[in-house]
Amino acid sequence: MTVDREVLQASWNQTRGHLDTARAHLAGLPDIDLAATLELLEHNELELAFECLADLGDHLDLPLSFWQHLDRAAREMRLYSDALHTPHLTAADFCRRQLAAASEEE
What is the domain partition of the chain in residue ranges?
A: 5-105
1 pLDDT above the threshold of 90? no
Q: Predicted confidence band at 84 (pLDDT cuts at 50, 70, 90)?
A: low
83 pLDDT above the threshold of 60? no
**pLDDT for the residue numbered 101:** 84
Q: How far apart (Å, rounded) are the C-alpha atoms in residues 16 and 52?
A: 13
67: which residues sit within 8 A by CB, 6+ positions away? Answer: 57, 95, 98, 99, 102
Check: CB of residue 22 under 8 Å from CB of residue 62: no
pLDDT (tens digit, 9 = 90+) per residue, 27-81?
Answer: 999 999 999 999 999 999 999 999 999 999 988 989 999 999 999 999 999 887 6
What is this structure's pTM?
Answer: 0.80
Can you give the length of the chain in residues? 106
Q: What is the DSSP letter of 98?
A: H
**pLDDT for the residue numbered 102:** 83
